[in-house]
Amino acid sequence: MNKIWLASYPKSGNTWFRLLIANLRRDSPVDINDLPHSGGMASARARFDTVMMFPSGLLTHAECDRSRPDYYRATASMRREEGPDDRQDTAIDNVQFSKVHDAYTQTSLGEPLLGGPSAASGAILIVRDPRDVASSLANHGGWSIDDAIDFMASPDSGFCNRTDRQPNQLRQQLGGWSRYHAGWLTQGDLPVHRVRYEDLQEDTAATLRGALEFAGVTVTASEIARAVDFAAFDELRGQEDRSGGFREAPRPHGAASFFRRGVAGGWHDELTRAQRERIELDHGGMLAGLGYTW
């Protein structure tokens, strides 16, 4: 079984994309809380501990990072030996899609953190206008929008990187919104297919089909249409309301909902002029490179 990384800066549409994939070849919408969790996320600590047969809580962040290339290569070898796994909702046509928020970096030993081509055959990079990311990230973390803008500009930013507690995920270094995308787009280890959140909003079926073709997955028009319907925003928000929450939301979570608005361009009525200009100043080069205008 081959692996395709579903890479994205946080709050760029990774969860929606995974739900679209999970709803392929379904007769009813997949439960949002039944998405693959341990094996389906690159930073899942429990899966790391099981495969490496050592408690990662005894290691520093840097020591965990040095072990992660071996971990991803080991799981790739296990997938090839085991073959397709019907229990994984994101495994179709002998391809596993795995969520990753880590920037494409190297360990202190000079190895690709994610194991390079021995661990995965490619990556789908989901990108989103940072002006929309800022308000969504603020909602997600219970921050102010100004704090989210600072976080997006910081080269030292990351998730689960504190040393006074042990979260259920390994450290994920982000490096700032622009550096994050530059790292994935300029690395030479893996082919990358870019998906813009805005294009996924405008023509979900065509954008999804293009990404699946890149991954080597063949689907029918009816399968695509059902997946789009089953992963529609109203369906996801309704499930979240009925189930009392989404398990991938941070805890404690001060936001009213993980699936908040589901729109592109919401920044027009959520950011002040000063906030918009800060983001454009911080990330103007990458904004232009990814086809965003202002």
Q: What structural domains does the chain harbor?
A: 2-129+165-245 (3.40.50.300)
Question: What's the confidence (pLDDT) of residue 294?
Answer: 76
Report pTM.
Answer: 0.88
CB 134 within 8 A of CB 149: yes
Beta strands 2-8; 95-100: pairing state: parallel
92 conformational bin, left if phi > 0, alpha if psi -120 to 50, beta if neither:
beta
- How many residues appear in the chain? 294
Residue 232: name the closest of 10, 13, 16, 14 by CA: 16
Question: What's the confidence (pLDDT) of residue 97?
Answer: 93
Question: What's the confidence (pLDDT) of residue 257?
Answer: 57
- Write out the DSSP string of 19-65: HHHHTTT-SSPPPGGGS--STTBTTBHHHHHHHHTS-GGGS-HHHHH
Could you report how far apart the first and last alpha carbons of the chain are, in Å?
A: 42
Give per-residue burial for 197-230: e unless 16+ CB within 10 Å, then b: bbbbbeebeebbbebbebbebebeeebbebbbeb
Identity of the amino acid at 287:
L
The SS3 of residue 143 is coil
Work out whether the CA dihedral 133, 257, 201, 34 comes out positive or negative: positive
Question: What's the confidence (pLDDT) of residue 147?
Answer: 98
pLDDT, one tens digit for every residue, the chain (294 residues): 789 999 999 999 998 899 899 889 888 888 767 775 444 799 999 999 999 999 999 999 999 999 999 999 999 888 655 544 444 444 577 899 999 999 999 999 999 999 999 999 999 999 999 999 999 999 888 999 999 999 999 999 999 999 998 999 999 999 999 999 999 999 999 999 999 999 999 999 999 999 999 999 999 999 999 999 888 876 766 667 666 556 555 554 445 555 555 577 889 999 999 999 999 999 999 999 999 987
Beta strands 158-159; 172-173: pairing state: antiparallel
